[in-house]
C-alpha cells in the first residue's frame, strides 16, 4: 500500500471518493508541497461482505413480510422509542 499524491483542489472536489473508496494514504499537496495526509480508518468491504449484507437484507424483508410489518411502522416505532428516551 503506497501513498497517493493529489492536489488540494482535486482532494476537495473528490473528497467523498477518497473518504469512501480509497484504501491507501493520500498526501494532499499545494503547489507541489505536501500540506497534509488523509489516512483511511476503515478497510474496504470485500465481495463476501457485500453478499452477507444482501443476504441479511433479504432475510429481514422475509421476516417483516411474515410478521406483517412495514418499514414505515418500524420507523415510527423507532421514533417513538427515541422520543421516550429523551424524556
pLDDT of the residue at 28: 95
Name residues of the chain where pLDDT drops below 50: none
Taking the model in full, what pTM does it have?
0.48
Using DSSP, state whether 41 is helix, strand or coil: coil
Helical segments of the chain, H only: 8-13, 15-21, 47-67, 71-86
41-61 confidence digits (pLDDT tens): 877 778 898 899 999 999 999
pLDDT at 2: 75
Amino acid at each position: 500500500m503506497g501513498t497517493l499524491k493529489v492536489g488540494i483542489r482535486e482532494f476537495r472536489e473528490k473528497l467523498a471518493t477518497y473518504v469512501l473508496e480509497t484504501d491507501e494514504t493520500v498526501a494532499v499537496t499545494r503547489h507541489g508541497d505536501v500540506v497534509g495526509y488523509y489516512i483511511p480508518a476503515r478497510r474496504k468491504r470485500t465481495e463476501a461482505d457485500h453478499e452477507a449484507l444482501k443476504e441479511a437484507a433479504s432475510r429481514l424483508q422475509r421476516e417483516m413480510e411474515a410478521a406483517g410489518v412495514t418499514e414505515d411502522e418500524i420507523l415510527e416505532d423507532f421514533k417513538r422509542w427515541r422520543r421516550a428516551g429523551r424524556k
